[in-house]
Amino acid sequence: MIEWKKYTYTFLITAVIFITAIFASNYFTQKRINEIKNIESRISVDILASETQFSLLSELSCKDIGNSFLSQELAELGDKLSYMENNRGTDDEEVINLKKYYSLLQIKDYLLMQKVNERCGAKTLFIMYFYSNKKNDCPDCQKEGFVLTRLREDYPELRVYSFDYNLELSALKTLINIYDIKDEQPTILVNDEVNYGFKSIDDIKEIIPVLKEIDKQREIEKTFQATTTTF
Amino acid sequence: MPKILTYIFLFIALYIEIFFLITYFEFRKKEKSTKTKIFKKLPSVSVIVPVWNEEKTVLKTIFSLLNLNYPKNKLFIFIVDDGSTDKTWNVLQRFKNHKQIKIFKKENGGKYTALNHALKYIDTDLVGCLDADSFVHPEALQRIVSRFEDPEIMAVTPSIKVFEPKGFLGLIQKAEYILGIFLRKVLHNLDAIYITPGPLSIFRRSVFEKLGSYRHAHNTEDIEIAMRMQKNNMRISNAHNAYIYTVAPNNLKVLLKQRLRWVYGFIKNALDYKELFFKPQHSHLGLIVLPAAGFSIFATLYFFIMRIYSAIENMILKVKEIYTIGFHFNSFNIDLFYFNTSIIIFISMIAISGVFLTIMVSRYLAEEKTKFGFDSILFLIFYTFLSPIWMIWALYNLVTSKSSKWR
């Protein structure tokens, strides 16, 4: 006599475990999305505050405008978004919305930093990077991602703004039109100059010579430190 | 697609694990309330020991049989030298006048022929086999025989432990054999034992009278005879406290060959007895146990291939990264955001908890001193890398129609 009951109970227990796992996984994913939303809203407030502060104080108080704010937070947000994209897929509606907002924040930050550069003579370094997530569309984008991540780590003063070329966002389209960027990724935009194709670390140092100067400066500091330690 | 397939595999694996655990705990309750009957008149027993080049271990095996707590006038030992080329036959000569022991020598023909050779001379109530690399616990036979008090029971299997496990492979096999004790107990509860292993499985003599002698059965006569019995609705029981100690291979090559023979033998016999699968008349054996055994081979392979694929993918990515930006240590990020909380991780965690519980129950059944041992840890880490090797090999042999060998 077969105990069908046991087969059914086992099925129910297994199903309950599966459903619980699905719920638990969704709960943590939702938590992540909320965390990204929180970071985005924090950055948005920070940008707005900086813009307002900038308008209120005008040229006289350039020293009050911080140069390194947001850079780290934007980078962290970018990393988290790319993690979500890998896990949930590039087609996920929620991830796309978060990416749109992230792109907007990057543009706003870029505009603000440009103003700071113009008015205060600051020398913030920018790279605008356009990539594509479509399958087989940009085989070099992964490599370019490695290069820019490494540069961002090595040079905290460098701001890398990354944009999905195919993202349906009017502000992004306007940016693409202004610089007349063709649909060829990877694309790097530095000081209004558009560079197509993969660019290695050395190539980028050629495009942004300041990075070489920073290297030299670091070398001098290192030698100086070594000399003082010897004495 | 692979994600859905992974979910399906995980669901089935979890289902089987839960089914077996429920069965164990369900019967544990019942067993506590039932008393074991003891024979008034013990049946006579013959144990066949087939030997082939076993000069080093055969004496220990025979002495362990002679030390069994069983009436001497009811226990007979039949040693069959299957054409050994070493000094085994000389070693056996010391028993030629022993009252309980009969020794035979024949041309080499394989284990099943040695067993059949001895079967012709046996007229005891019960008959069993003991491999010459195994040693019995003094109480093992009494415990096995007590199971035959139930007239429906036609064969009884013991619990097998590794004899003095040594080294890395020895410890992994120790944990594996202990888990085997749990599994055999569950299969017993389900009336679905499909292997009567070489180390002291005991049968009623009538089994061979009704079903015929042992067969070659792809060098796994112990699987075939059990499947033949199941096909003929003969019940097989298990005495989980009847311990037999077997020498486990300490060399990877020997271990692989042994496991290849087991897996290949199981698949071939399963194909020979495919009518047992998914048939309600064969109850749990047909509905869950045999399909689960077949599934375990494919699931092990699937997860192994997925792991290899993912490792290669990560390696390619790393090589690409090094090639592009040079060697660079990525800073370790302990942000909780990056902790993997996918469905697969949750299910795997539950399945692994089930494995932990199974290991603890197995060790309790095996009367081990600790709930968890170093051998269990090694088993958990390395078994999933080892077992796919012989499974892939067995499937390869199956596809290329290459049969497995004893040694």
SS3 content of chain A, % helix, strand, coil (to 5): 70, 10, 20
**Which band of pLDDT confidence, cut at 50, 70 and 90, is reported for residue A118?**
confident
Please choose, from the candidates A105, A117, A216, the residue with its C-alpha nearest in 3D space to the C-alpha of residue A171: A105
pLDDT tens across B347-379, in order? Answer: 999 999 999 999 999 999 999 988 899 999 999
- Would you say residue B302 lies in a domain? no
Task: State the CATH number of the domain containing residue B228.
Answer: 3.90.550.10
- Would you say residue B389 lies in a domain? no
Domains of chain A: 1-119 (no CATH), 124-231 (3.40.30.10)
User: If you average pLDDT over residues B92-109, what whole number do you get?
Assistant: 94
Of B15, B284, B324, the CB nearest to A146: B324
Please choose, from the candidates B272, B266, B276, the residue with its C-alpha nearest in 3D space to the C-alpha of residue B300: B266
Q: How far is A205 from chain B (nearest CA, A)?
A: 13
- Would you say residue B391 lies in a domain? no
Asked if the C-beta of B14 comes within 8 angstroms of chain A's C-beta atoms, the answer is yes
- Would you say residue B91 lies in a domain? yes
Contact predicate B199/B247, CB 8 Å: no
- B320/A146 Cβ within 8 A: yes
Number of domains in chain B: 1
> How many DSSP H helices and E strands does chain A contain?
7, 4
- Would you say residue B146 lies in a domain? yes
Of B22, B324, B346, the CB nearest to A10: B22
pLDDT tens across A30-50, in order? Answer: 999 999 999 899 888 888 887
pLDDT tens across B306-341, in order? Answer: 999 999 999 999 999 999 988 877 766 778 888 889
- A83/B338 Cβ within 8 A: yes
- Would you say residue B6 lies in a domain? no
For B170, the token pair is: 């020895």
Provide the percentage of residues in chain B whose pLDDT is more than 90.
80
- Would you say residue B220 lies in a domain? yes
- B337/A35 Cβ within 8 A: yes
Chain A nearest-CA residue for B21: A10
pLDDT of residue A10: 96
User: What is the Rg, in whole angstroms, of the alpha carbon atoms belonging to chain A?
Assistant: 23
pLDDT of residue B406: 54
Name the residue range of residue B236's domain.
Answer: 37-254
pLDDT over 60 (residue B290): yes
Q: How far is A53 from chain B (nearest CA, A)?
A: 32
- Would you say residue B369 lies in a domain? no
Of B15, B331, B345, the CB nearest to A11: B15
pLDDT of residue B258: 93
User: How far lies B144's CA from each of A125, B136, B202, B278, B388, in Å?
Assistant: 82, 12, 8, 30, 34
SS3 content of chain B, % helix, strand, coil (to 5): 60, 15, 30
Asked if the C-beta of A28 comes within 8 angstroms of chain B's C-beta atoms, the answer is yes
Asked if the C-beta of B4 comes within 8 angstroms of chain A's C-beta atoms, the answer is no
pLDDT tens across B211-238, in order? Answer: 999 999 999 999 999 999 999 999 999 9
